[in-house]
Structure 1
C-alpha cells in the first residue's frame, strides 16, 4: 500500500516534467524530480500511471491534430514505453539480485549458526572428555604415587638384602681364596707325582718300544713267508682258473649245441603242436559225429521199440482174430442145427 508522503498526482506531475524534457520516466528519475519518497511508493504510482496509459493508448487523437504530430507522438510514446520497460526490467533484475544476495546471506548465516552450534557441541564434548581424562590422570597419579612408595619400600628392603649379600660375598671370597691356596698346593703335589709317573712311563715305553720293534721284525718275516705262500697259492689258483675256463668253454660249446638241438626240438614241438591241433580238430569233429550218431541211434532205438510194441500189439490182434476164427465153427454149428 502506498505511503501518505507521496501521492499519485505528485508522481504524475513528475512524469509529465520528464516527458516535457524528453527523458524517459523511471522510478529513479521520478524520485530525482520529487527529491524524496520511497522506491516502493513511487514504483506503485508509476505502475498505476502505466496501466492508465495502456488503457488510454487506443483512444483516438482529438480532431484537428495533424497526422504527422500523431505519428511522432505515437513513436515517442512507443520509445518511452520501451525505455520504461527496460528501466523496470533493470530494477527488477537488481531487486532479484538483492533478494538472492539476501537469501544467500541468510543461508550463510544459518550455516554459520549451525557450524557454531556444532563447534559448541564439539567443544562441550571435548571439554567433557578433557575433564574425564583429567580425572583419570588424577587417579593414575595417585596410583603412581602409591606404587612409588611401594617401590621405595622394596628398594630399601633390596638395599638391606644387597648389603647382606655383599657381606656373604666377602666371606665367600675369603673362603675361595683359602680354597685356591689349598688347591694350588694340592696341584703342585699332584704335578710332581705326575712328573715322576711320566718318567716311569717313559722308561716303560722305551722297553715296550724295543719289544714292539722285535715283534714288528717277527711280523715282517711272517708276512714275507705268508706272501710267498700266497704267491704259490695264486699260481695254483691261476692254473685252476685256466682249467676252469677251458671247462667253461667246453660247457659253452655243449650249451650251444644243446641250444641248437633245443631249437630243432622246439620246431618239432611246434610242428607236433600243429598236428596235435589238427588231430584235436578232427577229434572234435569225430566227437560231434559220434554224438550225432548216438542221437540218431537213440532215435532209432526209440523207433525200434515203438515198432516192436506195434508188432506186439499186431500179434496180439492176430491171435485174437485167430481165436475168433477158431471159435467161429462152434458158433455157427448151433445156428445150422436150428
Structure 2
C-alpha cells in the first residue's frame, strides 16, 4: 500500500511527462518528478503496472478507437483516484483511531503507574505501620515483664515486711521478757536486801544481848564479829556486783530500745517504698491499657489499608487490560 499523497495517477502523470521529454522513466527520475517523495518500491510497482497496461493496450485489436481507450483510461484513473482517496480517508481514520487508542493506552499506563506509586506508598506505609505495631507489641511485652517483675518485687517486699514484723514482735517479746526479768531481779534484790537487813538487825540485837550477858566470851564473840564483818564485806561486794549487772541490763535495754526505733524507721521507709511501687504498678497497668487501645487502632488501620490496597490492585488490573477496539473487530 502506497504512502499518503502518492498514488498511481501521480506516478502515471510523472511517467508521461518524462516520456514526453524523450527520457527513460526510471524509478529515480519519477521520484524526482514527484518532488523526491514516495517509496521506491511503490513507484516501481506502479511503473510496472503502467508498463503492463501499455503492453496490453498495444496488444488490443486495432478496431478499438483511441477515444474509447482514452475514456476507459480516464475512468480507470478517476476510479483509481476515488479508491485512493477512500483508502487515504480510511487510513487517516485508522490513524486517528490508533492515536486515540495509543493516547488512551498512555493514559491508562500513566494511571497504572500512579496507582503503582500509590500502591508502593501504601505498601511502605503498611510496612511502617506493621513495624510500629511490632514495636508497640515489644514495648507491651517489656511493660508486662516489668509489671510482673514489680509485682514479684512487691510480693517479695510484703514477705520481707511480714518477716520483719515477726522479728519486731519477737524483739518486743524479748524486750518484755527482759523488762519482766529486770523487774523480777529488782524485786528479788529488794527482798534480799530487806531480808539481809532484818537478819542483820536481828544479829546486831542478838550480839548486843550476848555482849551484855556474855562479857567473858568477848574473845569468842570478837571472832564471830570478824566473821560477820567478812560476811558483810562479801555481801557488800555482791551488792556492788548486782548493781553493775543492773546497769549492764539497763544499758542492754537502752540498746534494744534504740534497735527497736531503727527497725520502726526501717519499717516506715519500707512502707513508703511499697506505696511507691504500688503507684508504679498502677501506672504500668494504665500504660498497658493504653498500648492495647493503640494496638486495636493500628489493627483497624491495617485492615482498612489492606482493603484499600485490594481495591487499588483491582482498579490497576482493570486499567492494565487493553480495551476492545470495535472498529478493528468490524473490519476483521
TM bin, normalised by shorter chain, reads: 0.3 to 0.5
- Calculate the TM-score normalised by the size of structure 2: 0.32
Larger RCO (alpha carbons 8 Å, 6+ apart): 2
- Calculate the TM-score normalised by the size of structure 1: 0.32
